[in-house]
Amino acid sequence: MRIFQVDAFTDTVFKGNPAAVIPLQEWPDDRTLQQIAAENNLSETAYFSENEDGSFQLRWFTPETEVDLCGHATLASAHILFEQLNHQKKEITFHTKSGKLTVQKRDDMYIMDFPSNPPKPVPVPKLLPEAIGIIPIYTGVNIDMLVLVQSEQDVRDIKPDMPLLKKMEVRGVIVTAPADEPQTDFVSRFFAPAVGVPEDPVTGSAHTVLTPFWAKRLGKNELRGMQISTRGGDLICIQKEGRVEIGGKAVTYMAGEITI
């Protein structure tokens, strides 16, 4: 099998979020898919195969489990199709566990169309302040728990207690705050030890929660987000009716082969 490694939400290698991308002619059994993802030891490994109508089946695996939605590995898969596999159309349709997802290439940017997942307010979970070392201003839940704190510096300073975070009954925990720089609207970090990803460098799917939250809070539908992990990444986020567009760049780091 061919394998690529792509740094997503950046135009520079060693930044953004690395994902493995594996095009398939035939699908191995799920155990093999999981073993490959564990061997890759990246936050996500994406597998896709082409359908007769020119669309693609797409699945995502962390080192520990299959997930229902992953943004950066979707962007990475589109990048490989456009840049390495000579996909001729301007839009790619992926069929996934989260339904139909599309990715368009606009100049040097990839724009993903995802479902919008606005968070619902919930009381602050008992273990959360101890787990992140700060009392939140707001907590809400959808596919992930969104935690609003006072400042960008608070987000940068968090040193989470991973065993406590793992006890939260959600896929992951998003910590966010207003950005200090005027050209950026909000910053975030994402922790998902429950699915084998202690801290994800840049998380496209988390922005299906962040985008509607900040669009409502700031009163604007076009936003710029920055995930301030060690590697870091930049995202363009557009709130639409029931959907969000999440845009970013990508660069290929590696191309090779898997032998099993």
Give the H/E segment covering residue 215. helix 207-218
Residue 233, CA distances (Å) to 120, 125, 227, 230 in order: 26, 29, 5, 9
DSSP 155: H
Contact 83, 71 (CB under 8 A): no
Contact between 20 and 253 (Cβ < 8 Å): no
Report d(CA 45, CA 42) in Å as an integer.
7
Q: Contact, 202 vs 228, CB < 8 A? A: no
**Cα–Cα distance list, 16 to 9, 95, 231 (Å):** 5, 25, 6
Per the annotation, the verdict on 245 as an active-site residue is no
* Alpha carbon distance 203, 207 (integer Å): 7
Tokens of 21: 């991308």
DSSP states of 49-65: EE-TTS-EEEEEE-SS-
Query: Which residue is catalytic, options 44, 152, 199, 245?
Result: 44
145 with 173: CB under 8 angstroms? yes
Locate tokens 């139909």: which residue?
100
Question: Which amino acids are annotated catalytic?
Answer: 44
